Amino acid sequence: MANDAGLITADGSNLAEPDRRRRARVGTYVVLFVGVVAANLALFLWGVGANWWRPDAPSLQVIAAISQVNILFAILPRQHWMVNLLSYLATKAPTSWPLRLRWRLAQYYHVGGLHVGGAISGTLWYVVYQVELAPAWFDGVLGFDDVSMGIAVAVCLTLITICVLASPGLRTRHHDIFEASHRFGTWTVLVLSWANTLILAHLHRPARPFGDALVSSPIFWMLVVSTSLAVWPWLLLRKVAITTERPSDHTVIVRLDHGFTPAVGTTRAISRHPLLGWHPFACVPAAPGESGYRMVVSRAGGWTGEFIENPPSHVWVRGIPTAGVANAKRLFDRVLYIATGSGIGPTLGHLLTDTRGARLVWVTKNPRATYGDGLVDEVQGSQPEAVIWNTSEQGKPDVFDLSYKAFVDSGADAVIIVSNKAVTDRVVSEFERRGIPAFGPIWDS
């Protein structure tokens, strides 16, 4: 039976020649980002026509409120419960729905486009607010004193710093700095915004009671929501005991058992220190006969290297486990999973529980020597037809060519890959050019 794309049959016959001139689909991430920025640009142009740009308090409050709305909009997509809700709703669609629609729905994890679009737009609006505030402060407009002006400058500089350090190049080269700027920068903006809101409400006295001026401000209520969202994950901060198994100097298998088992297909960040160094890993179901869950940590930098060489007895967790990209499998009848190296971790839970049928291509170096006999036996037990390519013995393959053949042989109708950025981008793009839904992690801010 042909799949929705009309390209292959279940047994691989009548495969249409792929059109290499066909372009890969525009990702939902880009669509969401451009949509947020375009909406803000339209609002800005409307504000020009409405003569918002005048140095008086009502106009400035409107601009400040728009900036705060965007920042709130940027915070929401990064909430664990919001990601889980979007994943649940998006993957409820039946497989009888048109392929194009399910293809888009499966990109629910591209919601980071809203985060980045809201953060950049909110920052630009605050720059506009700062530019308009300067002459109002200089002219002595009621409601803006030296402290308000100083706080506004500090907020503006902090937002710009956060955006600059979140740029792809700086984020990749200086991850710890990026993480610290995001966390402490956001907290700084919230504290300063609260201070400014309280000061402005106080400046309305005695013409208006302080409490009345405060609760009547829309910025006050947006700050209440923003602060609640920022605080909530930290209310669930826990220090939990772990045990570790190190099959090689490249990998450590972490076992967590603290009375809670995350759902299959979720990820969770762990840290040695509650304020710094948070790194997300897939939650893998415990081995048969064991309780709790596992994480596969592979050497990929200083933090993971130190973790493997000197594993701690405890780690910190916060918030709740978050749905990952591989949950897109629910929208398709059969999925081909592609993993390179430790990418097997995020796919393992799905391979063990996917009742619709799945196939695996795993490209890795010395799988048994690197990940241990137990993990490899689990993989082979759940996927007896898996293609496990040992690069130490067979050399480095073209991951796409290897995967495309497995895709045709398996009769799958979608592809999910967990690999590094370069391989993921190429494989997803090549499959999409052939009209085949393909999904992989995205690296965004």
Residue 206 preceded by cis peptide, ω within 30: yes
337 vs 383: CA distance, rounded Å? 11
What average pLDDT does the segment 13-19 reach? Answer: 38
pLDDT in the model for residue 8: 34
pLDDT at residue 141, as a whole number = 56
221 and 93 in a single domain? The answer is: yes
Q: Which of 107, 128, 158, 154 lies closest to 65 in space, CA to CA?
A: 128
Of the three residues 206, 235, 264, the one that is the final residue of a domain is 235
- In sequence order, what E strands does 272-308 have? 279-282, 284-285, 293-298
pTM of this structure: 0.84
Tens of pLDDT, residue by residue over 200-246, are 777 766 667 878 878 888 888 989 999 999 999 999 999 999 999 99
Give me the percent of the chain exceeding a pLDDT of 70.
88
Rounded average pLDDT over 117-144? 79
Q: What local confidence, expressed as pLDDT, does residue 233 receive?
A: 92
Domain holding 383: CATH number?
Answer: 3.40.50.80
Question: Would 324 be classed as within a structural domain?
Answer: no
Of the candidates 143, 154, 149, which has an alpha carbon nearest to the alpha carbon of residue 213?
Answer: 143
d(CA 275, CA 106): 33
Q: Output the average pLDDT for the chain.
A: 85
Q: Which of 221-225, 269-273, 439-443 has the lowest mean pLDDT?
A: 439-443
Average pLDDT over residues 28-52: 89
Positive or negative torsion for Cα 423, 414, 26, 125? negative
Which residue is it, tokens 């020009």?
Answer: 48
Q: Provide mean pLDDT across the span 288-312.
A: 89
How large is the average pLDDT for residues 284-298? 88
Separation of CA 197 from chain center: 31
Q: Are 354 and 307 in the same domain?
A: no
Segment among 13-17, 96-100, 289-293, 401-405 with least mean pLDDT = 13-17
Structure confidence at residue 14 (pLDDT): 35
Number of folded domains that form the chain: 3
The pLDDT tens digits for 386-398 are 999 999 999 999 9
Spatial distance between the Cα atoms of 223 and 228, rounded to a whole number of angstroms: 8
pLDDT beyond 70 at 382: yes
Q: Is residue 379 part of a domain?
A: yes
CA separation (Å) from 362 to 277, 345, 351? 29, 11, 12
Q: In this structure, are residues 36 and 114 in contact, taking their beta carbons and an 8 Å threshold?
A: yes
DSSP type of residue 286: P
Which of 235, 270, 300 finishes a domain?
235
Question: pLDDT tens digits for 335-366?
Answer: 999 999 988 988 888 888 876 778 899 999 99
Q: Please provide the size of the chain in residues.
A: 445
Asked if residue 134 is part of any domain, the answer here is: yes
* Residue that finishes a domain, picked among 267, 286, 318: 318
**Which residue has 């947006």 as its token pair?**
222
Read off the pLDDT of each residue in 296-305 and give the average, rounded to a whole number.
87
Residue 6 lies in a domain: no
Question: What is the 3-state secondary structure of 250-264?
Answer: CEEEEEECCCCCCCC
Q: Does residue 19 form part of some domain?
A: no
Torsion angle in degrees (nearest 10) through CA of 288, 293, 299, 304 = -160
Task: Specify the pLDDT at position 53.
Answer: 66
Look at residue 136 and tell me whether its pLDDT is greater than 80: no
pLDDT tens digits along 154-212: 999 999 999 999 888 888 788 888 888 989 999 999 999 898 888 877 776 666 787 88
Q: Which of 121, 124, 135 is nearest to 53 (CA)?
A: 135
Do the beta carbons of residue 18 and residue 434 sit within 8 Å? yes
For 91, the token pair is 């993957």
Average pLDDT over residues 246-274: 91
Reported confidence tier of residue 3, pLDDT bands at 50, 70, 90:
very low
